[in-house]
Structure 1
Amino acid sequence: MGNVVSRPADVLRLAVVVGALGVVFGDIGTSPIYTLQTVFSPTDPHPVPATSENVLGVVSLVFWSVMLIVTVTYVLLAMRVDHDGEGGIMALITLLRRWAARGSTRITMTLAGLGLFGAALFLGDSMITPAISVLSAVQGIEVVNPSFAEWVVPLTVVIIVGLFAAQRFGTAAVGRLFGPVMITWFTAIAACGVWGVANEPGILAALSPTYAISFLAGRFELAFFTLGAVVLAVTGAEALYADMGHFGRRPISVGWIFLVLPACTLSYLGQGALILQDRANLSAPFFLLAPDWALIPMVVLATAATVIASQAVITGAFSVTAQAAQLGYLPRLRIVHTSRSTYGQIYVPRINWLLMVAVLALVLTFRSPTSLAYAYGMAVTGTITITTILFFYVAWHTWHVPRWALAALAAVLLTIDLLFVAANLTKLAHGAWIPLVIAVVAYTVMTTWQRGLEVVAARRAAMEGSLRTFVEGLSPPDAAVAVARGTAIFLNRGRDTAPLALRTHVERHHVRHERLAVVAVEIDVAPWRTDEDRVTVVHLGPGDAGVTHVTVRFGYAERPDVPTALARHVPEQTGRHLDLEQATYYLSRVEIRLGDEPAMPAWRRRLFVATSYLAADAAEHFGLPRDRTVLLGARIDI
């Protein structure tokens, strides 16, 4: 009986692992396509001679970099820190924001800002990943026939345009195929790796850390520059942590340790063995590792795997921008939920087309994965280093382990991370500046929006005045103010002030509704809120003449559907009848204009006003019925 009961649970766990393989590991799982090819590329500013000692040293360095950064830093350590089940750099930021709100030290706020820069670097990563991944896979047709070389860039452009055009349909339909395709991918690259190792078993010596250490110690100048390309082996490590909320720590850990890590390791070993056999294989060791009969299927499979990898990072960019908007770092963005069953499947049109333009620009500018690799490493190492710093800060304050052990481990891992960062800084003139510029621009926009919101909120609060004082003026009913039948719901940003729309409606039109509710929408630093604390109802003023104040709370990862939340929770908490099915919703629309706000430089004021035009329609954002929504405006100069 016990076996019968356990089988459905086992099947469910297996399904989660397969799902994680399809979504989480696409980026890091396609790294073998271009990592060793980039390391030994003759076009690299600091080329590595393909001697036997160098090949063994580089392969060993790749293997142990993956072990220390991915397995130790992320799988064994970082994934043990979560925020209500959510992982990734945004989860660490929200933890630090919560501490800062409780009056923590300045260093906490500084680290939260550093984390925001890491999130901005991730946006740069999401632009480079589709470009380098798809370009690397399509370049495999050159191995099939060198005359196809001129078709690499055009085919890449077609695939990328198709990929971004398909985003509006969502990944629900094709998502079921991702897991099996990636399982096939990892099985194939592992099999090719075994074939390569069988022909040159001596490559197995690279599994010993002594070769990596000897390469670093004996040829440090050469090895240091090599790190700029070796880091490509750990691209996608942040995805393991960021997607923890969707799949859980255990399925991701199981998928990594039992399939992804062995498959990638065998591929790197096989490629190293191939290079040891013949230095002519340096041009495309990944594809040359496949038998002749399997070359075309491998190119097709690699293209499918890189599209999946790109899909995962594009979805990640949608999630990061949506969460940033909910936390007040960006204006409200139009978000389309493409799945009725999975909340995380979203589509953000403005971000989608911005990413597509950026990716196409990178492809058409660099035209080869080797050139793009110099830009890619900077984004990856920056994000990894910032995540490591934030993780150890959180662990230092929350874990009950000896401080000396944490300090020693942090010193080792951060030294490795900073070596990678320093090595990629040497590539600044060759493209590494691109993700830094993208990150600086994104960071500037987000911090400017956050500061501008603070200024606008202060001026808006002064215009709105006290809600309780305003309600007291409505009770007892004033004969000069007519009472209209029905229910009116006024959305507001806070609990204490009167909505601008309500004040305008009463003072200018001299009318109020018989049933009146003020709804304050709060976005929490937690990703989800439970039904138990979703809604709080407070009655302001005596009798029916008073106002019902409702606070509706959503997590930053939730869609703020106000009518649904009110319908589910308000009737059971209030004795006053609110006809929610026929209620009219009122929104306060604020027009922001350039002024002379001394707290912000002129250029930041202009940037804030320009960014405000990206804001999505508030009625759509809060899920309000179009035919029962009224907008009343006001102007605020900044």
Structure 2
Amino acid sequence: MRWKKLQKPKVGSRARRAIEKNKSSHYLMLFLALLGACMVIADGVLTPAISDVPVPTACAILVGLFTLKHFGTHKIGFIFAPVVVLWLLFIGGVGLYNILYWNRQVTRAVSPKCMYKFIRNMDIKIWRPLSSVLLSIAGLFSEFTHHRIRGDVCKSRPFLEEVSPGSVHHAFTVISLLASIVGSQATITGTFSIINQCLALDCFPRVKMVHTSQKKHGQVYIPDFNWILIVLCLTITICFEDRSIGNVTGLTIVTGMLTTTCLMSLIIALYWEKNMLISACFLIFFGSIEAIYLSACVLNFQKGAWILVILTVVLVTAMFAWHYGTMKKYNFDTNNRVSMEPPTDLGPALRVVRVLGIGFIYTDIARGIPAFFSHFVTHLPAFHQLLVFVSFKSVPVPYVPPSRQYIIGRFGPKEYGVYRCIVRYGYCSGIRDTVDFEDNLIRRIGEFISVEDNGTEALTSPEGRMIVIGNLEQGGNALTPQARDSDVGLELVNIEHSPIQTSEQSQVFHPLVRRKRVGFLLPRESPEMSSVREELQELVDARDSGTAYLLGHTHLSARRGSNFLKKLTIMLYVFLDENCRAPLLALNIPHAALVEVGMVYSI
């Protein structure tokens, strides 16, 4: 018998388990991630504001710069590469001209001996200009022209003053302006991309996201935040000097670099599961270099760096509050979901009534019954004869083909009349037309009923079989749509119900309106389709009786005795939730068919 030697757990695995058990480390990593994201957003505010042109001209350029963003990077990006190449060739040629014409000894500055002399004779006056060196590394060459680097070996005058002849100076001004515009466009695009990532992680309030490319996922445009950037950039350009903006930008860049280094060291140790010594060496080597430049930028703190502090505090606080509230609501829905048996078992005791029609219950959870539905049945013991729990899941592709878009299964026995539907959509899909979506969903459910017992390949689920419904235009034979005019009757809407105020119910009725409504024809009668046709008839009759949409809305509140920080965080989340954009999928639900169920969750 061979005995296998037990492998010792890796250091990275042990560190990961230790961090998973320590909640303080979770908040620390969250803070580092939010801080890095805030630095990118702050860079998008500050970089476009740096300019050597007069303020009115700078403001006009900024307005044009942000106006171009709605066209998308792929439509205006073709001019980026020629401008950058021209800029690099130009500054390279001008630099070579200055070295050959003014001082060929400047090439000695690359010697380590020169660096040693610079550090040996260093004082606070020499240390401050390192922030300007950082800006030149980052590509903000216009700001570099405002400063001089003084040393024992290397002395230079401002760059623009050394450029000759005069015609070259004017060309430099034009090309540098174009290069600044390209750099600002790239920075703004990066700002939109980081916000997109924060939205995916529930770390940013809901905003309208426009994907400008169907081939590249990262090319996005955010109209709401674009206007905020315009206002902030114009305010900073008008109210602050270019030198102060440069100091703030240097601090922003080096803080983002240091944050990235810290997070990268965690990735090396925890995700790649490398030796902790490798992670520590990476952090010490790159972190020490960035810490040197950070100390130089901190020395210029009084020269406008407080702007960054205000931006960071506002952004980090808002992002943390949104993430905290969103996670609490999601955990509440997940931990309080129930099976289908309790609502049905309560029927005899509560005398639950099954009314005619179809009820679409929108929920974020893909398994179990959401807590708000159980709460709704408990306080208002009635629900429709057919229920469809609908969940929407985003996938990182432009479009999901119709053959892979709907995953449908049955929730419980057939007599329950309950279905589960997961709708997958891409980042360029717009699920906004509720009428068309309702018709398509009814057809998909009909197709599921017709193929359920045919041995079709299904997905495994704790709740039963779930089938990926194919393209109905290529052989679907369950329900055939037929357009017709119909009256949309009066329906109960806006039932706001909470466990604290159980008597508050509001009923709003809307007049009859006429609109195009799709009817469905059943398949032809046949012995093998008898049971299926009976269930399809029940589906069509329920649809003709009317539809209602149930949405859950969890209200967060702080428990009595909570500390001030928790109360402030929850208040900020509630403010952001009430003033940001509504969920995308609930925008076009008819008011006459909407039932909103409110619940108060004290944390």
Tell me if 1:634 matches 2:598: yes
Aligned to 1:353: 227
* 3-state SS, counterpart of residue 339 of structure 1: coil
TM-score, scaled to structure 2? 0.67
- Supply the distance in 2 between the matched residues of 1:404 and 1:604 (Cα, whole angstroms): 38
Tell me if 1:609 matches 2:512: no
Tell me if 1:375 matches 2:248: yes
Quick one: which of 202, 206, 209 aligns to 1:328?
202
Aligned to 2:74: 172
Aligned to 1:71: none
Aligned to 2:384: 512
Aligned to 1:163: 65
Deviations 1:502-534 (A, max 9, x none): 8648974934253x332334679x999999999
* 3-state SS, counterpart of residue 360 of structure 2: strand
Aligned to 1:298: 172
Mapping of 1:150-299 within 5 angstroms? 152-199=54-101, 200-235=103-138, 281-282=157-158, 285-286=159-160, 288-289=162-163, 291-299=165-173
Aligned to 1:453: 326
* 3-state SS, counterpart of residue 553 of structure 2: strand
Aligned to 2:367: 495
- Supply the distance in 2 between the matched residues of 1:547 and 1:287 (Cα, whole angstroms): 78
Q: 1:277 to 1:457 in 2, by over 3 A?
A: closer
The offset of 1:607, in angstroms, is: 1.6
Quick one: which of 539, 557, 573 aligns to 2:410?
539
Deviations 1:252-272 (A, max 9, x none): xxxxxxxxxxxx9xx99xx99
- Supply the distance in 1 between the matched residues of 2:480 and 2:248 (Cα, whole angstroms): 53
Instruction: Indicate conservation of the 8 Å contact 1:456/1:636, yes or no.
Output: no
Aligned to 1:116: 34
The offset of 1:492, in angstroms, is: 3.0
- Supply the distance in 2 between the matched residues of 1:428 and 1:272 (Cα, whole angstroms): 19
Q: CA RMSD in A?
A: 4.6
- Supply the distance in 2 between the matched residues of 1:235 and 1:348 (Cα, whole angstroms): 25
- Supply the distance in 2 between the matched residues of 1:483 and 1:166 (Cα, whole angstroms): 52
The offset of 1:537, in angstroms, is: 5.3
Instruction: Indicate conservation of the 8 Å contact 2:411/2:420, yes or no.
Output: yes
- Supply the distance in 2 between the matched residues of 1:580 and 1:467 (Cα, whole angstroms): 34
Mapping of 1:344-423 within 5 angstroms? 344-368=218-242, 370-397=243-270, 404=277, 406-423=279-296
Aligned to 1:69: none
Deviations 1:520-579 (A, max 9, x none): 34679x999999999865532112634333456789xx5686699x98999685469898
* 3-state SS, counterpart of residue 548 of structure 1: strand
- Supply the distance in 2 between the matched residues of 1:441 and 1:167 (Cα, whole angstroms): 25
- Supply the distance in 2 between the matched residues of 1:604 and 1:622 (Cα, whole angstroms): 27
- Supply the distance in 1 between the matched residues of 2:595 and 2:76 (Cα, whole angstroms): 40
Q: How many positions carry a matched residue from both structures? A: 481
* 3-state SS, counterpart of residue 342 of structure 1: coil
Larger Cα-atom Rg: 2
Deviations 1:203-254 (A, max 9, x none): 22222233223212222434422222222123379xxxxxxxxxxxxxxxxx
Q: Which moved further from structure 2: 106-115 or 158-167?
A: 106-115
Q: 1:559 to 1:637 in 2, by over 3 A?
A: farther
Mapping of 1:455-474 within 5 angstroms? 455-457=328-330, 466-469=338-341, 472-473=344-345
Deviations 1:265-289 (A, max 9, x none): xx99xx999xx9996x42xx14752
* 3-state SS, counterpart of residue 332 of structure 1: coil
Tell me if 1:130 matches 2:48: yes
Deviations 1:23-69 (A, max 9, x none): xxxxxxxxxxxxxxxxxxxxxxxxxxxxxxxxxxxxxxxxxxxxxxx
Q: 1:446 to 1:403 in 2, by over 3 A?
A: closer
Aligned to 1:337: 211
Quick one: which of 540, 547, 551 aligns to 1:588?
551
Which has the higher relative contact order, 1 or 2, with Cα contacts under 8 A spaced 6 or more apart? 1
Deviations 1:372-405 (A, max 9, x none): 1111111111111111111122223455776555
- Supply the distance in 2 between the matched residues of 1:425 and 1:362 (Cα, whole angstroms): 20
The offset of 1:349, in angstroms, is: 2.3
Gaps spanning 5+ residues in structure 1: where?
1-94, 139-151, 238-263
TM-score, scaled to structure 1? 0.63
Q: Which amino acid aligns with 2:111?
A: S
The offset of 1:460, in angstroms, is: 5.6
Q: 1:468 to 1:287 in 2, by over 3 A?
A: farther
The offset of 1:103, in angstroms, is: 5.2
Instruction: Indicate conservation of the 8 Å contact 2:343/2:374, yes or no.
Output: no
Query: Identity of paired residues, percent?
Result: 22
- Supply the distance in 2 between the matched residues of 1:329 and 1:611 (Cα, whole angstroms): 12
Q: Which amino acid aligns with 1:381?
A: V
Tell me if 1:312 matches 2:186: yes
Q: Which amino acid aligns with 1:197?
A: I
The offset of 1:306, in angstroms, is: 1.3
Q: Which moved further from structure 2: 452-461 or 343-352?
A: 452-461
Q: Which amino acid aligns with 2:182?
A: I
Q: 1:488 to 1:398 in 2, by over 3 A?
A: closer
Q: 1:410 to 1:346 in 2, by over 3 A?
A: closer
Instruction: Indicate conservation of the 8 Å contact 2:353/2:381, yes or no.
Output: no
Quick one: which of 419, 427, 439 aligns to 1:548?
419
- Supply the distance in 2 between the matched residues of 1:221 and 1:124 (Cα, whole angstroms): 27
Tell me if 1:436 matches 2:309: yes
* 3-state SS, counterpart of residue 590 of structure 1: strand
Aligned to 1:81: none
- Supply the distance in 2 between the matched residues of 1:499 and 1:407 (Cα, whole angstroms): 46
- Supply the distance in 1 between the matched residues of 2:221 and 2:342 (Cα, whole angstroms): 41
Instruction: Indicate conservation of the 8 Å contact 2:408/2:420, yes or no.
Output: yes
Q: 1:474 to 1:509 in 2, by over 3 A?
A: closer
Q: 1:579 to 1:190 in 2, by over 3 A?
A: farther
Q: Which amino acid aligns with 2:30?
A: A
Which protein has the bigger helix share? 1
Q: Which amino acid aligns with 1:604?
A: T
The offset of 1:624, in angstroms, is: 7.2
Q: 1:450 to 1:403 in 2, by over 3 A?
A: closer
Instruction: Indicate conservation of the 8 Å contact 2:35/2:316, yes or no.
Output: yes
Mapping of 1:137-152 within 5 angstroms? 138=53, 152=54
* 3-state SS, counterpart of residue 63 of structure 2: helix
Instruction: Indicate conservation of the 8 Å contact 2:265/2:282, yes or no.
Output: no
Instruction: Indicate conservation of the 8 Å contact 2:46/2:249, yes or no.
Output: yes
* 3-state SS, counterpart of residue 353 of structure 2: coil
Q: Which amino acid aligns with 1:390?
A: L
